[in-house]
Structure formats: C-alpha cells, structure tokens
C-alpha cells in the first residue's frame, strides 16, 4: 500500500476534548467550557448566576476575569475538584 493510512481511534470532538483535558490538567486551569460554536475554553469557573458563568482565563500570562453566557455553553467539564 502506498501513502499513509488514515487511522481514527476516536471521533474528532472526543479527541480534541481528551487532548484539551490533558493539556489543561498540566496547567493551572480546572475547567473546560465546550461552546455551541465548537470552541473549547480552558478556564477556572469562579461562580455563576441565572444567565452567566463567571470565569478566569489566562491569556499571554495575564489573568483575565470575564463571563460567558450560559446559552453559548454546550457542556462544562470540571477537571479537578480542588478549589
């Protein structure tokens, strides 16, 4: 056979989620937000209300405190239980 075989052990979304979970577990972040548009946000969830989830993210070694509307979040994965 010529060329490279295409081997898919898991579907693309599962693979991305597992990769990001491993990557985030090595960082200071504790949570992953899977957004309805397909993006994944590595963050620390600091609180929530009826409309938003409040998060801290690191961008260029700077801590950014922000919020994400719950309607934009498909799934929340907590990587660690320590607070």
Q: Is residue 14 domain-resident?
A: no
Q: For residue 44, give the nearest of 27, 19, 61, 23 by alpha carbon.
A: 27
Q: Whose structure tokens read 């620390």?
A: 44
Number of domains in the chain: 1
- State which residues form the domain around 40: 30-83
Q: Is residue 37 domain-resident?
A: yes
Paired with 47 in beta bridges are 54
Q: Is residue 6 domain-resident?
A: no
Q: Is residue 12 domain-resident?
A: no
Q: For residue 58, give the nearest of 79, 41, 82 by alpha carbon.
A: 41
What was the pLDDT predicted at 47?
Answer: 93
- pLDDT tens per residue across span 16-72: 877 777 766 665 558 899 999 999 998 999 999 999 999 999 888 888 999 999 999
Q: Is the pLDDT of residue 1 over 60?
A: no
Q: Is residue 9 domain-resident?
A: no
Q: Is the model more confident about 72 or about 15?
A: 72
The C-alpha atoms of residue 25 and residue 42 are separated, in whole angstroms, by: 10
What was the pLDDT predicted at 64?
Answer: 92
What CATH number should be reported for the domain holding residue 66? 2.30.30.100
């Amino acid at each position: 056979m010529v060329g490279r075989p295409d081997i898919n052990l898991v579907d693309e979304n599962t693979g991305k989620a597992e990769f990001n979970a491993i990557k985030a577990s090595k960082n200071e972040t504790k949570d992953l937000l899977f957004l309805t548009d397909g993006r994944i946000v590595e963050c620390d969830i600091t609180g929530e209300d009826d409309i938003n989830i409040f998060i801290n993210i690191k961008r260029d070694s700077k801590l950014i405190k922000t919020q994400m509307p719950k309607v934009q979040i498909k799934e929340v994965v907590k990587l660690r239980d320590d607070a």
